[in-house]
């Protein structure tokens, strides 16, 4: 059968991302769905079925990668990988491929013993595809929850880490993002109204609140529930930030106080990422490199690239993508990469 549609899936613990590209590599469809797996596997199954109904096309090949196996509804990562493979086989059929870090795309049995090759491999797919097209640099995907900082040199990945634990050790995985990260994970103190104070160690607000206040987020970027279950307006975000300070927003009616506070947290997160990016940059043998940005928080990479004086490329510049699809293509980089790698493997 001639394959004319290549569908890539990135199965995360909070989002399911999907991309459909044609045989020429053009993006036909790309989007993300909220799938909070900690609420149960049904959230993932429903999203799969909803998307499949939307892209009911023929002559297609499904390829997948995942990070959702780390979700705490599973006893361990092996159980997570096998459970997700089982769901994919039940919904998409057995004629599907999974991305493995050593072997690329391959069909996987539920009893496949080398689950580590499949677990949390989406970063590898994205950077492997990027390295095919850009000679040297860092692939940086700032997502809702985490940031991948992957070095590549002479068209080859040169990451020191191979799994979440080792990548955390080498600053190639940083657990900070622009939607779900609790404010208390950024710092223990904040400057407010000219005074430095400790903050409350409660899940009262997230980075989505600071970037909503500062105007960096589109409405479609944040698909998660807020920390208090209330709406996603600037005023509600200010209320949530006030709780982090142990106070009420109505006591400080000058909104500049809250914009300044959001800016403070923003700069703290920028410093966290800049330090990790510089650490990984120093592992490259040649400093003549580029930063390739992806993810909903790629605006942070742009700021850092300008600060460091390093050329920047957006991930969506690496393939045929119309303007309407650019934003989602950057957010769904692993799904795009998986689909493109699947297409390229069929061309050989």
Domain limits for position 237 = 183-272
**Residues 83-103 as b or e (16 or more Cβ within 10 Å = b):** bbbebbeeebeeebbbbbbee
In this structure, is residue 102 part of a structural domain?
yes
- Name the token pair of 308: 């460091």
- Is position 16 within any domain? yes
Last residue of a domain, which of 211, 238, 272? 272
Q: What would the pLDDT profile of 2-60 be if each residue is shown by its tens digit?
A: 888 999 999 999 999 999 999 999 999 999 999 999 999 999 999 999 999 988 778 89
Q: What angle do CA 66, 87, 95 make, to 5 degrees?
A: 85
Structure confidence by residue, pLDDT tens digits, 114-137 = 888 999 999 999 999 999 999 999
DSSP of 242-269: HHHTTS-GGG---HHHHHHHHHHHHHHH
The model's pLDDT over 316-332, given as tens digits with 9 standing for 90+, comes to 999 999 999 999 999 99
Which among 323, 328, 325, 331 is positioned nearest to 293, based on CA atoms? Answer: 331
**92 and 17 in one domain?**
yes
Which of 254, 272, 290 is the last residue in one of the domains?
272
Average pLDDT over residues 251-274: 98
Query: Where is average pLDDT lowest: 1-5, 220-224, 237-241, 296-300?
Result: 1-5
Q: Are residues 130 and 57 in the same domain?
A: yes
**What is the reported pTM?**
0.97
pLDDT attached to residue 182? 99
* CATH number of domain containing 106: 3.30.420.40
Q: Give the pLDDT of residue 59.
A: 83
Nearest to 39 by CA among 67, 65, 6, 72: 72
First to last CA, the chain: 16
In a domain, 238, yes or no: yes
**245 located within any domain:** yes
The pLDDT of residue 54: 86
Judged against a pLDDT cut of 90, whether residue 111 lies above it is answered with no
CATH code for position 250:
3.30.420.190
């Amino acid at each position: 059968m001639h394959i004319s549609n290549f569908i890539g899936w990135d199965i995360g613990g909070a989002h399911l991302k999907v991309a459909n590209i044609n045989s020429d590599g053009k993006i036909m469809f790309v989007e993300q769905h909220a799938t909070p797996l900690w609420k149960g596997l049904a959230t993932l199954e429903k999203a799969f079925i909803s998307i499949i109904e939307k892209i009911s096309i023929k002559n297609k090949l499904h390829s997948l990668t995942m990070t959702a196996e780390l979700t705490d509804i599973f006893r361990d990562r092996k159980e997570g990988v096998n459970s997700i493979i089982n769901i994919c086989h039940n919904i998409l059929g057995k004629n599907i491929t999974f991305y493995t870090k050593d072997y690329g795309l391959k069909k996987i049995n539920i009893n496949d013993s080398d689950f580590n090759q499949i677990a949390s491999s989406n970063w590898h797919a994205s950077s492997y595809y990027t390295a095919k097209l850009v000679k040297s640099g860092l692939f940086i995907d700032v997502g809702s929850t985490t940031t991948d900082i992957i070095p590549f040199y002479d068209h080859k990945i040169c990451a020191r880490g191979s799994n979440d634990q080792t990548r955390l050790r080498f600053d190639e995985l940083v657990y900070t993002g622009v939607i779900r990260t609790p404010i208390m994970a950024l710092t223990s103190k904040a400057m407010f109204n000219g005074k430095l104070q400790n903050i409350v160690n409660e899940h009262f607000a997230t980075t989505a609140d600071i970037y909503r206040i500062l105007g960096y987020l589109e409405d479609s970027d944040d698909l998660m529930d807020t920390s208090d279950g209330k709406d996603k307006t600037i005023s509600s975000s200010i209320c949530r930030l006030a709780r982090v300070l142990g106070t009420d927003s109505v006591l400080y009616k000058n909104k500049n106080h809250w914009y300044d506070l959001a800016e403070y947290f923003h700069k703290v997160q920028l410093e966290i990422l800049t330090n990790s990016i510089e650490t990984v940059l120093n592992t490259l043998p040649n400093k003549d490199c580029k930063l390739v940005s992806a993810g909903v928080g790629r605006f942070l990479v742009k700021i850092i690239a300008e600060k460091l004086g390093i050329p920047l490329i957006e991930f969506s510049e690496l393939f045929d993508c119309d303007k309407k699809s650019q934003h989602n293509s950057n957010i769904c980089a692993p799904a795009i990469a998986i689909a493109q790698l699947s297409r390229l493997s069929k061309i050989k």
